[in-house]
Amino acid sequence: MRRQPWRVRALAITTATALIATPSACGTGVAAREPGAPIELSIATFTEFGYEDLLIEYQENHPGIKVRHQRTGQGGTYHQQLFTRLGAGSGLTDVVAVEEGHLSDALAASRLFHDLAVIGPREVTGNRWLDWKYAAAKAKDGSLIGYGTDIGPLAMCYRVDLFAAAGLPTDPELVKPLFTSWDTYFAAGDDYVARTGRPWFDSAGQIFNAMHNQLATGYFDTDDTLVVASNPAVKQNWDAVTTAARRGQSAGLTAFSAEWEAGFRAGAFATKTCPSWMLGVIKAQAGPANAGRWAVTDAFPGGGGNWGGSYLAVPKQSAHPKEAAALAAWLTAPEQQIRAFARTGNFPSQVEALTSPRLLGTVDEYFGGAHTGALFAAQARKVSAPQYKGPGDGRIQEAVATPALRAVEQGTPPEVGWRQLVEGAEKIAR
Amino acid sequence: MRARLTPYLCVAPFFVLFTVTGLFPLLYTGYVSLFSWDLVGDAPTFVGLANYAELLGDDRFGTALVNTASIFLLATGPQLLVAVGIAALLDAAPRPTTGWRVAVLAPTAMSVVAVGIVFANLFGPKYGLVNAGLEALGIGAVDWQADRLASHVAIAVMVNWRWTGYNALVVLAAMRAIPPSLHEAATVDGAGRWRRFRHVTLPLLRPTLLFVVVTSTIGGLQVFTEPKLLDAQPGSANGGASGQFQTVALYVYQSAFETRRLGYASAVAWVLVLLVAVLAWVNYRLTKRMAGVDG
C-alpha cells in the first residue's frame, strides 16, 4: 500500500489541536444551567447499600432531579479515592458514603463538608437515630457532617457442632455465661483449646478490634493527643489478646483474606465476633453445606458494641448541596433503611426502624431459626456512648494494629509487636 | 511559514504527551518532596530537604530497599537463565510454531492483578496449593506470608512467570539474527551443538542480554502489584505484618495514601528515580564497554 503522508499529518495536527484545546474546553464547560432543566445529582457508595430501587423511586417522585449512582466494590479503595479527591478539591459526587472506620478522618476535615444541620431539611433531627450513632457524626465545631445509614451491633457467633464435640453447651441461652466478659471468653477459649487442641477464634485482630471499641478512651483523647502508649486500657487489651493467641486460641487467619474465607468452610475456629453484617459473610463463606452449624446469641463479652455502619455526607465540592442533603435525608429515613435492610441485611440505625414489625420478625434459618432482627435490635440498644475517635483512628486500627497483631501470630514477640503498634500509630498521628 | 511549522506539529503529540504525563509529574513530585504536605490538610509548609534527611534514618525505607533488591535478584537471575533456555529450545525446533511462541508470551498479556490474586491463593500458608504439594513431598509447609525470604521467593515467582516468556522472545529474535554462516564455520571446525551455543551464540547475544537486564532492573525496582496482592490483609500496603516484603514502590504508596504524607512519599519516589537513573547509567556503561571489546 502506498503511504499517505497527508493523512498522517492531518492526524498529527488534529491530535495536537485537540490536546491544546482540551483544557480550555474544560474551563468553559461549566455553563449556567438552563431554567427548568433537571438537576443532576450523584451519589457514591461502596459494597452493597441496597439503594438501587430507592433511587429509581426518588427520581419518579422528584421529576426535576436525576440521580447518578456510582458504586465501588471494595471499601478500602473507595475511601482512599474519597480522601484523595477531598484533598484535591474536585471529583467527588454530591452525596458520599463514609464508613464508620473512616469517619474520624472525615470529621478532621469537617471544613470540607457541609453542616447537614444547616443545609438539611428542617424536620430531620437527631431524634431519628440512636443517640450514639448521631453523636458520632458531630465534628468538634458542632457541625453535623453525616446522616447515619446502618450500624453493626455486635453479638457472638459460634459453631454448634464444634461446641458439642468439645463438650460445651450448644443452646444460645446456655452459652451466654461463656460470653459475659472478656475474661470468661478467654477462659472458655483456654478450656476449648485444652479439650480439642483447636483454635477458639479466627484472628487476634478481630478480637482486639471489638475490645478496643468498648473502651471509654481509645487511641486518642478528646484533644486529639495520641495516648496509645499512655492509655493502660489499650495495653491491657493487647496483653489479653496476644496471651490468648500465644496459647493457641487464634487460628491466625487474617480477616477477609482468602484463607480466612476458607477457614469458615473448614471449621477452623469455633467462635466469631459477629456484627450484624457478619451473618451474611458467614453464610456466603461457610456455604449451604454448613447450614445449621453456626448459631448466634445475643450476648457479647463486656456488654454491647458496634462494628461498622456508614453515613451519608455532602462535600462542599457539591454544586447542589441543598438537593443533595435532601436526597441523603430521604435515603436515611427509617422507611427507606428498612427496605435497604430487607435487600442487603444492613442493620438500620434509626430508632423507629428498630421497632418495625418487619425488622423484628426477621428469622434466619441458616442460624438455627434465630430471630436475628430482634436479637440485633436488642444488641444495638446495649451500645453505650461512642468512643472518641481522633484523626487517623481508623487507619491506626486497620493499617497498624491489625498487622502488629498478625506479626505476633506469626511469631514476633508481643513486646516487639507492641512497639510496632506504638511507632506505627505515631507515624499516622503526626 | 506553514511549511516550517508542519514538522514541529508532527512531533508535537509526543512532546505534549511526554510533558503532561512524564516530565511534569516528575518535576512536580520533586517540588512536593520539599514540603510537609498532608493529603487532606490545610496548607503545605516548606521544609526544604527535611524529608530526605528523615529518609536516611528511616528503618522502614531501609527494609524496603533491601526487600526490593532481594526480590530483584531472585527474579532477574533465574528469569534470564530460563529465558535463554526457552529461546534456545524454540530456536532449535525444526519448525518454529506460532502456537509455542504465543504460549510463551501469554503470561505477559494477562492482567497482573488477576495473576497476583491466583498466585496469592497458591501461596496461601494454610490452605494453599503450593504448601499442599510441599507437604505431599515431605518437605513441609512454608509460611509464605511470615517468612521474609519465602515471601520474596513467592513474589519473584510471580514476576518470573509474567516476564520470562517476553524475555525469551526478545532473546529468540536476537538468536535468529545471528548469521548462519558463523554456525556453519564453527561446525566445519568441529564444534558441537553445546560449543557453538557457548562460543558463537552467547557472545553475540550479549547486547540483547544487557537490554533485558536493563528493562528488568527498571521493572524490578518498581515491583508493586505483586507484593500488594500477596499480603493476606486485603488492601494492605504494609507488605506483610511487619513490612517483610514491602517494596520501595509499595512504601511510596503507603506513605502517600495511608500515612498521608505526600511530601515524604514524593521524597521516597525521587530517591527511587535517582536509583533507577544510576543503575541505568551503570548498565549503559557496561553495554558500551562490552560493545567496544567485542566490536
Give contacts of A16 with chain B, Cβ < 8 Å.
Answer: 9, 12-13, 16
Domain of B67, in residue numbers: 25-294
HSE-CB at A74 with a 13 A cutoff on CA atoms is 9
- Hey, are the CB atoms on B234 and A427 less than 8 Å from each other? no
- Hey, are the CB atoms on A410 and B13 less than 8 Å from each other? no
Asked if A139 reaches chain B (Cβ–Cβ under 8 Å), the answer is no
Give contacts of B235 with chain A, Cβ < 8 Å.
Answer: 74, 76-77
Instruction: For the domain made up of A39-151+308-360, give the CATH fold.
Output: D-Maltodextrin-Binding Protein; domain 2 (3.40.190)
**Confidence category of residue A27, pLDDT binned at 50, 70, 90:** very low
Minimal Cα distance from A268: which residue of B? B126
Give contacts of B121 with chain A, Cβ < 8 Å.
Answer: 258
What tens digit of pLDDT does each residue of A372-425 get? 999 999 999 998 878 888 989 999 999 999 999 999 999 999 999 999 999 999
Minimal Cα distance from A260: which residue of B? B232
- Does residue B5 form part of some domain? no
- Does residue B280 form part of some domain? yes
Give contacts of A392 with chain B, Cβ < 8 Å.
Answer: 260
Instruction: Look at domain A154-305+365-429 and name its CATH class.
Output: alpha beta
State the Cα–Cα distance between residues B212 and B75, nearest whole angstrom: 12
- Does residue B38 form part of some domain? yes
Average pLDDT score over residue span A330-334: 97
- Hey, are the CB atoms on A404 and B241 less than 8 Å from each other? yes
Q: What is the pLDDT of residue B282?
A: 86
Give contacts of A281 with chain B, Cβ < 8 Å.
Answer: none
- Going along B65-218, which residue ranges are E strands? none
Q: What is the pLDDT of residue B207?
A: 84
Share of chain A above pLDDT 70, in %: 92
3-state DSSP of chain A: CCCCHHHHHHHHHHHHHHHHHHHHHHHHHCCCCCCCCCEEEEEEEECCCCCHHHHHHHHHHCCCEEEEEEEECCHHHHHHHHHHHHHHCCCCCCEEEEEHHHHHHHHHCHHHECCHHHHCCCCCCHHHECHHHHHCCECCCCCECCEECEECEEEEEEEHHHHHHCCCCCCCCCCHHHHCCHHHHHHHHHHHHHHHCCCCECCHHHHHHHHHHCCCECCECCCCCECCCCCHHHHHHHHHHHHHHHCCCECCCCCCCHHHHHHHHHCCCCEEEEECCHHHHHHHHHCHHHCCCEEEECCCCCCCCECCCEEEECECCCCCHHHHHHHHHHHCCHHHHHHHHHHHCCEECECHHHHCHHHHCCCEHHHCCECHHHHHHHHHHCCCCCCECCCCHHHHHHHHHHHHHHHHHCCCCHHHHHHHHHHHHHHHHC
Q: What is the pLDDT of residue B96?
A: 63
- Does residue B18 form part of some domain? no
> Shortest CB distance from B40 goes to which of A83, A253, A259?
A83
- Is the C-alpha dihedral spanning A156, A161, A166, A167 positive or negative? positive
Q: Mean pLDDT of all residues in chain B?
A: 90
**Pick the residue with more confidence: B94 or B152?**
B152
- Does residue B14 form part of some domain? no
Residues of chain A with CATH 3.40.190.10: 39-151+308-360, 154-305+365-429
Is the pLDDT at A318 greater than 50? The verdict is yes
- Hey, are the CB atoms on A428 and B259 less than 8 Å from each other? yes
> Shortest CB distance from B258 goes to which of A253, A268, A399?
A399
Write out the three cell numbers for A80: 482512599
Q: What is the pLDDT of residue A3?
A: 38
Is the pLDDT at A13 greater than 70? The verdict is no
Which of 6-35 (A) contact B at CB < 8 A?
8-9, 12-13, 15-16, 19-20
- Hey, are the CB atoms on A428 and B145 less than 8 Å from each other? no
Minimal Cα distance from B257: which residue of A? A80
> Shortest CB distance from B241 goes to which of A255, A268, A403?
A403
- Hey, are the CB atoms on A9 and B6 less than 8 Å from each other? yes
Residues whose CB is less than 8 angstroms from the CB of residue A364 and which lie 6 or more positions away in sequence, other chains included:
A279, A296, A370, A372
Is the pLDDT at A29 greater than 80? The verdict is no
Write down the ipTM of this complex. 0.86
> Shortest CB distance from B40 goes to which of A87, A262, A268?
A87
Is the pLDDT at A34 greater than 70? The verdict is no
**Confidence category of residue B43, pLDDT binned at 50, 70, 90:** confident
**Confidence category of residue B1, pLDDT binned at 50, 70, 90:** low
- Does residue B15 form part of some domain? no
State the Cα–Cα distance between residues A421 and A427, nearest whole angstrom: 10
HSE-CB at A391 with a 13 A cutoff on CA atoms is 21
Give contacts of B237 with chain A, Cβ < 8 Å.
Answer: 399
Q: What is the pLDDT of residue A31?
A: 41
In a mutational test of the B interface, the residue from A11, A15, A420 whose CB has the highest number of chain B CBs within 10 Å is A15
Q: What is the pLDDT of residue B261?
A: 93
Cα of B52 to nearest chain A Cα, Å: 16
- Hey, are the CB atoms on A428 and B234 less than 8 Å from each other? no
Nearest Cα residue to B251 out of B18, B5, B59: B59
Residues whose CB is less than 8 angstroms from the CB of residue B144 and which lie 6 or more positions away in sequence, other chains included:
B123, B124, B125, B128, B130, B131, B150, B151, B153, B154, B230
Is the pLDDT at A358 greater than 80? The verdict is yes
CATH of residue B265's domain is 1.10.3720.10
- Hey, are the CB atoms on A84 and B39 less than 8 Å from each other? yes
- Hey, are the CB atoms on B13 and A420 less than 8 Å from each other? no
Is the pLDDT at B99 greater than 90? The verdict is no
Q: What is the pLDDT of residue A110?
A: 95
- Does residue B199 form part of some domain? yes
Opening angle at CA B172, ends B169 and B174, nearest 5? 115
Asked if B273 reaches chain A (Cβ–Cβ under 8 Å), the answer is no
Range with lowest mean pLDDT among A194-208, B52-66, B98-112: B98-112
Is the pLDDT at A17 greater than 80? The verdict is no
- Does residue B69 form part of some domain? yes
State the Cα–Cα distance between residues A186 and A200, nearest whole angstrom: 9
**Pick the residue with more confidence: B104 or A121?**
A121
Nearest Cα residue to A324 out of A96, A101, A138, A172: A96
- As for how many domains chain B has, the answer is 1
Average pLDDT score over residue span B227-245: 93
Minimal Cα distance from A401: which residue of B? B241
Asked if B10 reaches chain A (Cβ–Cβ under 8 Å), the answer is yes
**Pick the residue with more confidence: B287 or A262?**
A262
What tens digit of pLDDT does each residue of A99-123 get? 998 999 999 999 999 999 999 999 9
**Confidence category of residue B256, pLDDT binned at 50, 70, 90:** very high
Minimal Cα distance from B232: which residue of A? A257
Asked if A239 reaches chain B (Cβ–Cβ under 8 Å), the answer is no
Most confident of A71-75, B87-91, B141-145: B141-145
Q: Mean pLDDT of all residues in chain A?
A: 90
What tens digit of pLDDT does each residue of A239-283 get? 999 999 999 999 999 999 999 999 999 999 999 999 999 999 999
Average pLDDT score over residue span A199-226: 95
